[in-house]
Amino acid sequence: MPIDTRHPKEIRADIRSGKLTGVTAGLGAGYVQANLAVLPRDHAYDFLLFCQRNPRPCPLIEVTDPGSPEPVGVAPGADLRTDIPGYRIWTNGVLAEEVKDATPYWRDDLVAFLLGCSFTFEWALLEAGIRLWHVEHGKNVAMWRTSIPCRPAGVFHGPMVVSMRPIAAPEIAKAVTASARFPSAHGAPIHVGDPAAIGIKDVTAPDYGDAQHFRPGDVPVFWACGVTPQAVALASKPPYMITHSPGHMFITDVPNGALAAL
């Protein structure tokens, strides 16, 4: 995969001008990418509280002031309405439109939430020398809704979604310590081993993403997944919500390594 090693500011400028329109994998090597969820101020308290109560699936790295599209903490000068290559507009929990520029959909009462994503801890696993089958084979991870309930907050409730990566047994401890350094990007695994213990009936048939290949001796290791907050938010059918399109993330100015020390 070719890597665009320019500073995120330059990459975001190309996204804003429409020169870059695809998925963000491989863009901004070494910088934290983030999931986007935008909700009206009326829903923002419940969603903020939901994230605070469920930090593993919902690791907040930025919350904007109502009406402001600028994530001053992680990318000063950026504009969350234009600097992501794809958006989804949701009304009453139903996908209404998929757009490249969210400016016409912005409102003065909107609050944007940026949540850490698995790219950061996968980078840490790879740096630690752990092989990831889905990365080597250009696939998505496998994801499931589990029997683990999130702690509810106001109107938001639902099960935790997890992602699974097969890890060689001798590498499990290393996978735990390497990812645990990044609590703002889902952190350590929430479960190691027996899929049935968290309500997963068939580890070869994911609810989302791609089935994974197990090498002999591989153990399924499960991390809390960023699909959780979006699924939970949409399940409550908020009248209005904006998210990024899958794979089209926001690229922050925060180096992956710095996230461990935030």
Stretch that binds a second copy, among 4-12, 31-39, 46-54, 217-225 (CB under 8 A): 46-54
Q: How far is the CB of 181 from a second copy (least distance, A)?
A: 11
The residues near 147 (Cβ < 8 Å, ≥ 6 apart) are: 159, 198, 199
Residue 129, both tokens: 């020398």
Q: Token match 């903020």: residue?
A: 48
- Each residue 138-157 as x (binds a second copy by CB under 8 A) or -, in order, gives -------------x-xx---
The Cα–Cα gap between 129 and 106 comes to: 43
Identify the residue among 95, 96, 173, 262 touching a second copy (CB under 8 A). 262
The Cα–Cα gap between 23 and 250 comes to: 10
Stretch that binds a second copy, among 41-49, 97-105, 117-125, 161-169 (CB under 8 A): 41-49
Q: Is 77 in the site for a second copy (CB under 8 A)?
A: no
Q: Is 209 in the site for a second copy (CB under 8 A)?
A: no
State which of positions 167-186 bind a second copy (CB under 8 A). Answer: 183
Residue 100, both tokens: 């490249």
The Cα–Cα gap between 200 and 149 comes to: 14
Identify the residue among 27, 32, 37, 44 touching a second copy (CB under 8 A). 44
Q: How far is the CB of 109 from a second copy (least distance, A)?
A: 13
Identify the residue among 48, 75, 80, 231 touching a second copy (CB under 8 A). 48
Between residues 143 and 188, which has the closer beta carbon with respect to a second copy?
A: 188
Helices (H), 89-197: 118-127, 133-136, 172-180
Between residues 143 and 160, which has the closer beta carbon with respect to a second copy?
A: 160
Q: Is 160 in the site for a second copy (CB under 8 A)?
A: no
Q: Which of 21, 60, 16, 38 is nearest to 106 (CA)?
A: 38
Residue 219 burial by CB count (10 A; 0-12/13-18/19+): exposed, middle or buried? Answer: middle
Vertex 244, ends 243 and 249: CA angle to 5°? 145
Q: Is 213 in the site for a second copy (CB under 8 A)?
A: no
Q: Is 53 in the site for a second copy (CB under 8 A)?
A: yes
Other beta carbons less than 10 A from residue 128's beta carbon: 14
State which of positions 56-75 bind a second copy (CB under 8 A). Answer: 60, 63, 65, 73
Quick one: which H or E segment has residue 220?
strand 218-224
Given the rule CB under 8 A, which residues bind a second copy? 44-45, 48-49, 52-53, 55, 60, 63, 65, 73, 151, 153-154, 183, 188, 261-262
